[in-house]
Amino acid sequence: MAITSRGFSGRRSATNVKLPPGQYLTTDFPVLSAGPTPHIPLDRWEFTIDDGTDVLQRWNWKSFRDLPTDTITADLHCVTRWSKLATSWEGVSLDVLLADVKTDLPYAMFRSYGDYTTNLPLKDVMNKQAWIAFNFDGADLAPEHGGPARLLVPHLYLWKSAKWVKGITLMPHDKPGFWENLGYHIYGDPWKEQRYSGDE
Amino acid sequence: MWRVGTVVALHDETATARTVRLEVPDWPGHLAGQHVDVRLTASDGYSAVRSYSIASAPNSEGRVELTVERLSNGEVSPYLTQELAAGDRLELRGPIGGWFVWRTQQTEPIQLIAGGSGLVPLMAMIRSRLSAGGTAPFRLLYSVREPAAVFYRDELHALSAHDHSVGVCYAYTRTAPKDWPRPPGRIEATLIATGAWPPNLGPTSYVCGPTSFVENVTDLLIAAGHGRENIRTERFGATGERK
């Protein structure tokens, strides 16, 4: 039961958009990262999919950019409570990247340059729910926002959309990634307000 | 789980920033560098939540201090810096965050680099070191707009005057005191070379401030030879009610 804050009326949003609980609307694009921004030259960039033992797929920047792409309009919800609506992206869907991967492994660890990791159930990145995005708002994705390419999985809190992504390791069991090991929720559904470990 | 803290003291740091001291009876304790979520609720049930860094050292008395910079277009910070009074109750959740923290067991040299109100979690680290009687060598490089915008002025002054193991170096960005040796400007390579621990001492660096500040400073640290694995960052964007 919340206590009332004497003299607080708040500044309600003038719009009627429905946001996940505890979020507020912003129009700018804040940055949150645990460490320095990596600067990855495109001629050294690669993206791999492995099963923990063998590399199953590998792309360099050119072969990655030869893949079919989608344009995506997505609402972003950050665990630090800002939401940004109707952002535009271009990226390669995980459906395309995983099309030739035969696997029964149900979980994925996304790996990034700079050693960031985040875990996701494989079913959450299939069926046009997730992309490796390289273009934001009509321009190459800036390094501080995860360029040259980041995961975009807009139905979960934004820390799941790993910046500077370089690959996927498929796993038999779910395992916490970087923030999930440091007090954040293992799954991170903004509509259920799964912010921190211990949230249902 | 939301806890209720009682405001026991308020202190203006600058014309736009205020420190709020809370007593939280069931506070589980925190580490230097962690933050809390603060929830305000209007009489009709509308609520707004923002995150703020904890400024106080870990302690067993349930004391939590937040230093809040007022944002002109903010929803929560104007209330915390202008309306809140001693005796008011405030809802908190936390502590939150396990990465941007300094633990008293760490013995390596520590380089703190703050941009504006990014000083708050770094001050908790300095206070944590002092209250634990730690000996890890600390340096603070504090980028601040002008002398009047300095947080914790007397405390920082006393630190550099009496405890030489915490060196404080100011980098004014817009207006420097009269006869200040360095012209105002953002942190540049020379200042990193002269004001920060050199990489061969194996320091851990904590950098906190606005995004552009953190991007600039971390690029300079890496160019100066610091390993990226030894640099921890906390950024706030233009909406910026975090820290």
Q: Which residues pair with A141 in a beta bridge?
A: none
Mutation target for A interface from B211, B213, B231: give the one with most A CBs within 10 A. Answer: B211
B102 part of a folded domain: no
Token readout for A140 is: 């190459």
Give yes or no for A2 touching B (CB within 8 A): yes
Alpha-helical regions (H) of B28-152: 77-78, 119-131
Let me know whether B148 and B88 are in one domain. no
CA B141 to CA B233: how far, in whole Å? 14
Q: Which pLDDT tens digit goes with each residue over A83-106? A: 999 999 999 999 999 999 999 999
Domain range for B215: 110-236
Q: Which pLDDT tens digit goes with each residue over B227-241? A: 999 999 998 754 434
CA B159 to CA B143: how far, in whole Å? 17
Q: Residue A24: closest CA among chain B residues belongs to which residue? A: B48
Residues of A within 8 A of B88 (CB-CB) are: 5-6
B242 part of a folded domain: no
Point out the least confidently predicted range of A33-37, A78-82, B200-204: A33-37
What pLDDT score was predicted for residue B161?
80
The arithmetic mean of pLDDT across residues B203-223, rounded, is: 96
Q: Which CATH number fits domain A43-174: 3.90.420.10, 3.40.50.620, 3.40.50.10490, 1.10.580.10?
A: 3.90.420.10
What pLDDT score was predicted for residue A14?
63
Residues of A within 8 A of B218 (CB-CB) are: 35-37
Q: Which pLDDT tens digit goes with each residue over B60-97? A: 999 999 999 999 888 999 999 999 999 999 999 999 99
Inter-chain contact A30–B47, Cβ cutoff 8 Å? no
What pLDDT score was predicted for residue A1?
62
Give the three-state DSSP class for A143.
helix
Inter-chain contact A22–B49, Cβ cutoff 8 Å? yes
Give yes or no for A7 touching B (CB within 8 A): yes
pLDDT at B243 over 60: no
Q: Which pLDDT tens digit goes with each residue over B3-43? A: 999 999 999 999 999 999 999 999 999 999 999 999 999 99
Percent of chain A whose predicted confidence (pLDDT) is above 90: 82
The arithmetic mean of pLDDT across residues B99-125, rounded, is: 97
Which residue among B40, B50, B96 sits closest to A8, beta carbon to beta carbon?
B40
Q: Which pLDDT tens digit goes with each residue over B142-181? A: 999 999 999 999 999 988 887 667 899 999 999 999 999 9
Give B15→chain A minimum CA distance, Å: 21
3-state helix, strand, coil in chain B (%, to 5): 25, 35, 40
Give B61→chain A minimum CA distance, Å: 23
Inter-chain contact A36–B231, Cβ cutoff 8 Å? yes
Let me know whether B170 and B204 are in one domain. yes
Residues 115-144 of A with CB under 8 A from B: 115, 144
Inter-chain contact B228–A12, Cβ cutoff 8 Å? no
Of B96, B129, B145, which closes a domain?
B96
Q: What is the predicted ipTM?
A: 0.86
Question: Is the pTM value of this prediction over 0.95?
Answer: no
Give A130→chain B minimum CA distance, Å: 25
pLDDT at B242 over 80: no
Let me know whether B133 and B61 are in one domain. no
What backbone phi and psi angles, to 5 degrees, belong to A45? -70, 140
